Homo-oligomer: A and B are copies of this chain.
Amino acid sequence: MGYSFYPTDLEEMRLTSPRYTLAVHGGAGTMARGATDEAPYHAGLRAALAAGETILAQGGSALDAVVAAVTALEDEPLFNAGRGSVYTSTAEHEMDAAVMDGSTLAAGAVATVRTPRNPVQLARAVMDSRFVLLSGDGAEAFAREHGLEAMPPAYFHTAHRLEQLQRLQAQEGGQRMQMDHAPTAPLDETRKFGTVGAVALDSTGHLASAVSTGGMTNKHPGRIGDSPLVGAGIYANDQSCAVCATGSGEYFIRACVGHDIHARMAYAGATLSEASQAALAQVGQLGGEGGVVAVDRQGNIALPFISAGMYRGWVRAGEAAQTRIFED
């Protein structure tokens, strides 16, 4: 089983006096660099960091910051979440999202929703109910009951995502595979794991995570990936870390990536970097690809991925925001 790590030099950084830390991602994938204009992707990541940092800099909570950052990523059509989500095999949108509060282990999540403008905000509303995970029509009804903004299918439509589905379905059996076409993004759209996510440590020492996704192109209707599943695509616990994952979701579910990173830190004494790499290694051993964005209670950041690149960014109190796509 061949796979490799492409850690960045920021994978683990220590702060002498941590105040707040925020990291975001816009998905991982495979593609040679320089294929298309990368600037809009960097701008989208910076906008998300700015939305979250505004809250953290004012002493706001990690939970509010990650929801704000993911909302910005959902509103940006370049990323596969909210507006700009990919299409299912029946040419519809089915979106998943989740939030988790490391200070209480409270979590809220939604799966296969079609109309909420910002699925992450619906997940946040579910967190305040007696449920953790709501799906489909029931989740839509919950959204209406709670007054969340709904949008028509046209809002979520993007021409290149629909073309992407049509190209994929033109191939044998509609299976996902490497395509022979001109790239429209720095990372290959057909091999891009288009989750978005954010993790944060706030100035009071609390951790939180949020994720959102349109899932995988040409997925079976009703398919739920790792993103809305606590312990798989998302996890947060003030005792250890906040994690959000992006990748071939089924492998991340089987490897329980989010909780595994926590468990390696809590039970085996691993550092954030060691735990993240070990959990991703298991994904690789199963045959999956992707990456994670994680922050620990000391403000260390880990951004490892086992794919050619991952749209990612981070910012800390008193430092300039940084964004990257490939290893560097």
Residues of A within 8 A of B (CB): 105-107, 111-112, 129-142, 219-225, 229-232, 235, 249-250, 253-256, 259-260, 263-264, 267-268, 286
Cα separation A224 to B139 with both chains bound (whole Å): 10
Among candidates B105, B129, B135, residue contacting A136 with C-beta atoms closer than 8 Å: B135
With A138-B112, A229-B229, A267-B264 as given contacts, are A131 and B259 in contact (CB-CB < 8 Å)?
Answer: no
Residue on B with the closest CB to A136?
Answer: B136
Cα separation A223 to B111 with both chains bound (whole Å): 10
Cα separation A219 to B129 with both chains bound (whole Å): 12
How many copies of this chain sit in the oligomeric assembly? Answer: 2
With A139-B222, A142-B222, A268-B267 as given contacts, are A131 and B260 in contact (CB-CB < 8 Å)?
Answer: no
26 CB < 8 A contacts A-B:
A106-B254, A112-B135, A112-B138, A129-B220, A132-B254, A133-B224, A133-B253, A134-B220, A134-B223, A134-B224, A135-B135, A135-B136, A136-B222, A137-B221, A138-B221, A138-B223, A140-B222, A142-B222, A229-B229, A230-B256, A231-B231, A231-B259, A256-B256, A256-B259, A260-B263, A263-B263
In the assembled complex, which residues on chain B have CB atoms less than 8 Å from the CB atom of A249?
A: 132
Cα separation A268 to B267 with both chains bound (whole Å): 5
Which 10 interchain pairs have the tightest Cβ spacing? A138-B222, A263-B263, A138-B221, A267-B267, A231-B256, A267-B268, A136-B136, A256-B259, A133-B224, A231-B231
In the assembled complex, which residues on chain B have CB atoms less than 8 Å from the CB atom of A254?
A: 105-107, 132, 230
Residue on B with the closest CB to A106?
Answer: B254
